[in-house]
Homo-oligomer: A and B are copies of this chain.
């Protein structure tokens, strides 16, 4: 069930113990804070026992009291629309923080469900805020993480607003490839922990369309698909499909626009 780990980048035992020895430290909350401070952060974090597939990390509507960092496994976050259908808002891999959208309202506008057996670190938010007052680097990193989340949501907006079905799936595959790569796994060969249904839901497509696209991509020798196992054969070509036309993006189209108010370019 678990993804293959070719280089064994993650020693499970050490991951279990503390942020200081967690291999995800470069991706996660403690990035850029000192050893002593890390110890403090470590002391407020609760490591929970693994959640099995389809288990909830938190539920839609839950009171917000903590953020969660994914230690291993993977998670989908989703909302339920007024008519009862689900919209998946993200797939999350180890090192990513979920629950950020709940800070403002005090309850979770999204639910989070494990796609496979998953361990998470629970980070009580009040204590995190207290800590951030004494560790400036921590507050900064939290802002950076939230900013990155906003940025990635914006990319997803573009995907849903402008891209064709082909472009959408190619973009998702490349995103997963890159993120697996950043985590020490192979970027060209990985396991999809989510169902076709989830993929379609996330990309705003019908399941059938997703299925057809996988078939088409395979026919074109872009990828090899075996159930949930994906192998990317032609990264460049896949990037081309995802929207890298190769043509240089024209940044400032309108010549008549005034200069920017805020700042030098």
Contact = CB atoms under 8 A, between A and B. Distances in A.
Interface string A82-109: 1111110100000000011111110001
Contacts of A58: 260-263
Which of A87, A99, A250, A262 has the largest count of B CB atoms less than 10 A from its CB? A262
Interface string A34-68: 00000000000000100110111111111101101
A257 B56 contact: yes
B158 A79 contact: yes
A71 to B, nearest CB: 12
Contacts of A87: 157-158, 161-162
B104 A147 contact: yes
A124 to B, nearest CB: 10
Interface stretch (A11-19, A133-141, A189-197, A212-220): A133-141
Given A51-B258, A101-B150, A109-B151, A250 B84 contact: yes
Given A79-B154, A149-B150, A151-B104, A261 B162 contact: no
Nearest to A202: B161
A5 interface: no
Interface string A179-215: 0000000000000000000000111100000000000
A261 B119 CA distance: 10
Contacts of A233: none
B62 A262 contact: yes
A143 interface: yes
A142 B146 CA distance: 11
Contact of A247 (B57, B84, B243): B84
A161 to B, nearest CB: 4
Interface in A222-248: 243-245, 247
Report the 8 A-B pairs with minimum CB-CB distance, sorted nearest first.
A103-B147, A161-B204, A160-B160, A55-B258, A153-B153, A104-B147, A58-B262, A104-B148
11 contacts: A51-B258, A54-B257, A58-B261, A62-B263, A66-B262, A89-B154, A89-B158, A101-B150, A143-B143, A149-B150, A153-B157
